[in-house]
Amino acid sequence: MAPSRFLAAALYAGMTMATHCVDLMPKSKPQVAPGVQFKVLANDLNRPRGLVADSEGNLLVVESGGKGIRRIVLNDGEGLDTCIVSSTQLVAESTLNHGIQLSSDGKILFASSLSDVYAYDYDAEKGAVGSAKHVITGMAQHGHSARTLLIPKHNPHLLLVTRGSNSNIDNETIQVESARSQIRIFKVDELLNCSSPVQYSDGQVLGWGLRNSVAVGEDPTTGYIWSADNGIDEMKRKGVDIHNSNPGEELNFHGLPNDTTNGFHGKNYGYPACVSIFDPSNIDGYPGGAKTGLPMVGDQMPSSYTDEWCKCNTVAPFVTFASHQAPLDIKFTPDGRSALISFHGSWNHKPPTGYCLSSVAYSKGFPEADKQSQTAQQQLMWNQDNSVCPDQCFRPVGLLLDEAAKRLFMTSDSTGELYVVTGTDTSYYQASEVLDRL
């Protein structure tokens, strides 16, 4: 057995195996930046997506393959030296598919399906839930199905709920009244006290014109809300196919969710008329010259929308990532110096791109890179060969930072895996190396 263990260590230098745990090999070949290590905790989950930790330190994981929510109890080991003690089904609701959050006191569990949000009384010590209370409805549609939930620590009385578009180009979302491609805000107490579910369209608009902002997170040092949006597919501009490198994925700023005067609250972020430039080299006829991060129009909307209209009427991203990487979660380190983002990867880029865990450096509440940078994204964990993706790759989805143990938990839905990762706050590749892999 010893030679095979040494061989495994050589092949997967970033993976550390605790001696008293079951050794699980990853189903793909993850690579890591210097200082980053990982371990596979489970490989038999049914399309795991969002996850949270309860007040006892147990993990609650949404299994989007029709299995509801799973409760995973870990031992007391720190860092990578941890194992699963037990894994049981907590909520047997097959429609739950992504979003999960706990109230600030840890006693109410929220979870989402394509069309609805539910609340359950929750006992962390016993690992037991009460009956589902239907709290939000009115989100059934075709197209994007994930409804991310976020209860900000700085505003624990609020619940943020995202909803994406019903197709690649959802023309109706040019109107805020469509209640799609938006992030809306709800008051937790009002939801729990209502005798019937609230319509999603009745929530307060935090931002709209957001095609599919599955990744939503809070900077713990400021309370600011940030989202990462998935750009459109198959884009053409002036009849030219530019989709392989445009538009970019967006990192958007929303400010404090309880501050309606901050200049960002309730604003239009552009979709479907306006998207963001990542690669200026194939953008012709842009007023003043095309640059990364600037908003542009394409052939997806009527000619009455112009680049100038986009610049004057929509909010531009703070960071623009390479196209079609599909960001699905964002979590900030406790000191606010890094945002960790899971990039699920996409079918719409050749060669395949994304399929990685990355970080963005922050300083004083905002990204360190300027808005025209193409190198803000620093990969921490990625697949050895993206050409075999998606079939033979891990695809990151949900992220959870365990602040006390200085580690990150990460789900991969395509492989059914749960990872624990360390060193995510210390390792960065140089920009040129990152660009070579995008």
**What would the pLDDT profile of 137-191 be if each residue is shown by its tens digit?**
999 999 999 999 999 999 999 999 999 999 999 999 999 999 999 999 999 999 9
Q: Is the pLDDT of residue 16 over 90?
A: no
Q: Is the pLDDT of residue 277 over 70?
A: yes
> Domain limits at 354?
2-437
Q: Is the pLDDT of residue 403 over 90?
A: no
Give the pLDDT score at 17: 40
Confidence of residue 426 (pLDDT cuts 50, 70, 90): low
Instruction: Compute the distance between CA of residue 70 and CA of residue 45 in angstroms, rounded to an integer.
Output: 9
Give the pLDDT score at 435: 40
Taking residues 16-33, report their average pLDDT.
77
Q: Which one has a higher pLDDT value, 426 or 224?
A: 224
CATH number of 47's domain: 2.120.10.30
Phi, psi values for residue 362, rounded to 5°:
-120, 155
Give the pLDDT score at 255: 98
Taking residues 275-286, report their average pLDDT.
98
Instruction: Compute the distance between CA of residue 88 and CA of residue 73 in angstroms, rounded to an integer.
Output: 9
The mean-pLDDT minimum among 124-128, 362-366, 429-433 falls in: 429-433
Q: Which two tokens stand for residue 79?
A: 């860092």
Count CB neighbours of 21 within 10 A: 16
Give the pLDDT score at 405: 67
Q: Which two tokens stand for residue 178?
A: 């469509």
Taking residues 382-389, report their average pLDDT.
94
Helix (H, G, I), strand (E, B) or coil at 7: helix
Phi, psi values for residue 320, rounded to 5°:
-115, 120
Core vs surface per residue 366-377: b (16+ CB within 10 A) or e:
ebebebeebebb
Closest CA to 31 of 290, 352, 385: 385
The mean-pLDDT minimum among 176-190, 251-265, 370-384, 393-407 falls in: 393-407
Phi, psi values for residue 384, rounded to 5°:
-65, -35
Indicate the number of domains in the chain: 1
In tens, the pLDDT along 200-241 reads 999 999 999 999 999 999 999 999 999 999 999 999 999 999
The mean-pLDDT minimum among 3-17, 75-89, 293-307, 356-370 falls in: 3-17
Mean pLDDT score across all residues of the chain: 92
Give the pLDDT score at 11: 38
Give Cβ neighbours of residue 28 (< 8 Å, ≥ 6 apart). 383, 384, 392, 393, 394, 415
